[in-house]
Structure 1
Amino acid sequence: MNYTPVAFIQNLSTPEIVMIGCVILLFFGAKRLPELVRSLGKSVGEFNRAKAGIEEDFRSAMDVKDIDNKPRPQEAKAPAESA
């Protein structure tokens, strides 16, 4: 399993994670927990879409090629039209 640690999570063991889960369950209750997780997922998805949009804006503003140095589809030149 290849997993990248986030902040302090790398120092938590299983019992500590279970304890944190129990405290969250006590604070929010079983009825509101699915709603909370769903809204958290939507927020993360919205953040990722915004991040991708900003990256695309930077790439188009800088007019650079992708990481693998292949031209982007917008940069491909169309064949010359006959007059």
Structure 2
Amino acid sequence: MPNIGPAELLVILVIALLVFGPKKLPELGKSLGSGIREFRRSTQGLKEELEGSLRETPPAAGPAPVQPAPVQTVVAQAVVPPVAPPAEAAPRPASDVLPPRP
């Protein structure tokens, strides 16, 4: 973000003076200042409330120790799929069989 120097501030002030006029400009500055002040107060209040709630929270106890499950022995039987006899070839349709050529 570019830095704003004294020359830029002077140009902004002149433009604001031309747009709002000399009577309205002090009122705008006052309302802008009070708005910024109120914003700071509310953010400070939220910050203090958050820090207070963090201090009041007791430290969480560590996770309960995990008990291992009882060990069970399982005997597996070998599974052999039954062997199917080879399928017979299906007869070919008559339209696939060509008559012999003379």
TM class by shorter chain equals 0.5 to 0.7
Q: How does 1:1-83 map to 2 (within 5 A)?
A: 7-8=1-2, 11-63=3-55
Q: How many residues align?
A: 56
Q: CA RMSD in A?
A: 1.5
Percent of aligned positions that are identical: 36
Q: Which has the larger radius of gyration?
A: 2
**Which structure 1 residue ranges, 5 or more long, are not aligned?**
1-6, 65-83
Matches of 1:60 and 1:12 in 2, distance apart?
A: 38
**Which structure 2 residue ranges, 5 or more long, are not aligned?**
57-102
- Please report the TM-score for the alignment, with normalisation by the length of structure 2: 0.50
Note the C-alpha offset of 1:14. 2.2
- Please report the TM-score for the alignment, with normalisation by the length of structure 1: 0.61
